[in-house]
Amino acid sequence: LCVGVDPPGAWAIWCMDGCLCSGVGDNEMLAGRQLNDAIRQYGLQGRRYLMVGVERPWGVKVAGGEKAIIKNAIACGYWIRHLESAATLTWSPMANQWRRWVGVHGQGDELKKLAVRLTTVLAEMQGEPAKPTTNHNEAEARLIAMATWMRAGCIVHGDLVHRWMLKFNVPYRQPSLQWNVEMRGRNDKM
């Protein structure tokens, strides 16, 4: 299982078959409660094979945007603390890092529209119970979860991520050696 978070309040739970559920809250506290409820609802409580990807803020693009960056950074810290105790592996990528893993390229606002469009395609590829989303933060949380899944090397021939890679010509990348060492250190098996 894998959780992807796009601070301040968008989250998604990913499994081998694709996006299990996702949501977006007004702030990180509300979204954290929604995530905990979803984890309980799906009977995932107590599972240790959990990977977490939380997007890290980067750069100030517009005047006055510093406050948004600081708020996002605080939310990022909240999510990492909130999920770290339950997670076997954590990853805090910047936007360009997770986008590279899923094969998303573009500039500015175009990326928000592209994320929504790609998660619609992803939902179609997955079938039930996936539902497309119109919220770009929730769409990015789903893609962050998928990127974290890919980075951990959980791709299996014929699964949703493998079909995604073939459809969009995304190259296979070796899983991070650091993650492999961490996994062995905790005696967990994926």
Average pLDDT, integer, range 160-166: 91
pLDDT band, residue 182 (cuts 50/70/90): low
pLDDT of residue 129: 62
Measured at the CA of 51, the angle between CA 94 and CA 178, to 5 degrees, comes to: 70
**pTM score, whole prediction:** 0.88
Closest CA to 140 of 160, 163, 158, 116: 116
Q: Count CB-CB contacts under 10 A for residue 21.
A: 20
The model's pLDDT over 21-63, given as tens digits with 9 standing for 90+, comes to: 999 999 999 999 999 999 888 877 765 567 899 999 877 677 7
Task: Give the residue with greater pLDDT, 100 vs 107.
Answer: 100
Task: Give the residue with greater pLDDT, 121 vs 64.
Answer: 121
CA atoms within 13 A on the CB side of 48: 6
Give kind and range of the element (H or E) at residue 10: strand 10-15
